[in-house]
Structure 1
Amino acid sequence: MTKRILVPIAPGTEEMEAITIIDTMIRAGFQVTTASAAFDGSLTMKGSRGITLTADCKLVDVADDEFDVIALPGGIGGAEVFRDSVVLVEMVRQHKYEGKLLGAICAAPALVLIHHDLYPDALMTCHPSFQSHIADACWRPKRVTLDVNHNLMTSQGPGTALEFSIELIIALCGKEKAWQVAEPMVTNPTLHYHEMGKRT
């Protein structure tokens, strides 16, 4: 069965992160939905660097849909919109409750997950400028971190977006599938980017 991936976007979303996640998931053959969390309901918006991003639909239109992964790109402005979106926060809360994989990168782990205490004990990383938001016991200074106990994948920024995306594929379908995507992209062949976070 095809995996279903939700990538929310908002004004101020980091373009490299959003597009890299979307592109890589499509290369994997997954069904990707890009949903606008913009408060005015607009589908077209400017990202953090002024590049135009266009969503498939409004977030509210897919609020009751089932997804295998919700992947939150960063960008301070976009992450702040996510933080203030009641619909998105409730979707993430329900997604976690169902034990499904959640991904967040850059500012999103700090401004969304930590702000709403959604994963209070999870091991995670984020953009280094937001490290102070994360408790020392939970912080991992790694480019990508997977907390297997919480089914949470986090990453640090635009430069780690491809690694993050490939690791999401590994978590969903295994390394063989991930390598089918990674090899034609001429990316790192090791596919050992993340620190496996597991509490004993």
Structure 2
Amino acid sequence: MPKVLVPLAQGCEEMEAVTIIDLLRRAEIEVVTASLTDTPVTASRGTVLIADTALDAVVDQAFDMIVLPGGLPGATHLQEDDRIRDLLQRQQSEDRYSAAICAAPRVLAAAGLLEGKTATAYPGALVADDLPLTRLTDAPVEVDGKIVTGRGPGTAMDFALQLIEILQGRSKRDSVERDLVRAP
């Protein structure tokens, strides 16, 4: 069973965090949510999220994928956390997946993972202008090697389904998507 880390920072985008966690778990992927501190996480719209554990408890574990929810100031807190940078750089050196949505692709950029990649991110100037990319697109989801990026809250479901396809295959993605009763 694939194992995924979803770090939760104060001010994260709850729609992205919860959608990612929920859909990956529906696909029978082991999801570990980890807060940057030992306190509950208050997301960008005031929703309180309780992580499975603190980041320090899992920082030395191996994960098939690390997925960063966006939102501000959540993405800024992730970007400023040395443990997150080190985890992402380790993912890259071990040829494992890293994924980020909305404002969080800038965390990948700060860790040195986006240079020369095709990626997407939230269209606001605070994000797109800070990304030292070769190619920034308006696509809902981009996959470039072991890097997956998503555009924003409205694409969170497409983003999570793409992660399922990468980790569990097309048939598992189709099964999860069918049960969601999404409009064609």
Q: Which TM-score bucket, shorter chain as reference?
A: over 0.9
User: What is the TM-score normalised by the length of structure 1?
Assistant: 0.87
> Which residue does the alignment assign to 1:80?
76
Which runs of 5 or more structure 2 residues have no equivalent in the other structure? none
Following superposition, the deviation at residue 136 of structure 1 comes to 6.2
Following superposition, the deviation at residue 188 of structure 1 comes to 5.6
> Which residue does the alignment assign to 1:101?
97
SS in 2 for 1:128: coil
Aligned pair in 2 of structure 1 residues 136, 88: CA closer, same or farther (>3 Å)?
closer
SS in 2 for 1:71: strand
Aligned pair in 2 of structure 1 residues 98, 136: CA closer, same or farther (>3 Å)?
closer
> Which residue does the alignment assign to 1:21?
20
Following superposition, the deviation at residue 137 of structure 1 comes to 3.0
Which whole-Å deviations, capped at 9, do the CAs of 1:113-158 have from their partners, x for residues lacking one? Answer: 223323211111100112222346321110100002xx11100111
Aligned pair in 2 of structure 1 residues 136, 66: CA closer, same or farther (>3 Å)?
closer
Following superposition, the deviation at residue 46 of structure 1 comes to 0.7
2:152 partner letter? G
Alignment of 1:161 onto 2:160 = no
Which whole-Å deviations, capped at 9, do the CAs of 1:151-198 have from their partners, x for residues lacking one? Answer: 111001110000000000111122111011110101266xxxxxxxxx
Aligned pair in 2 of structure 1 residues 37, 188: CA closer, same or farther (>3 Å)?
farther
> Which residue does the alignment assign to 1:68?
64
Counterpart CA distance in 2 for 1:141 and 1:133 is: 16
Following superposition, the deviation at residue 12 of structure 1 comes to 0.1
2:103 partner letter? A
Which whole-Å deviations, capped at 9, do the CAs of 1:86-118 have from their partners, x for residues lacking one? Answer: 1111001101111111110000002x1223323
Runs of 4+ displaced beyond 4 Å: none
- Equivalence map 1:110-125=2 (5 Å): 110=106, 112-125=107-120
| Count of residues paired in the alignment | 182
2:113 partner letter? L
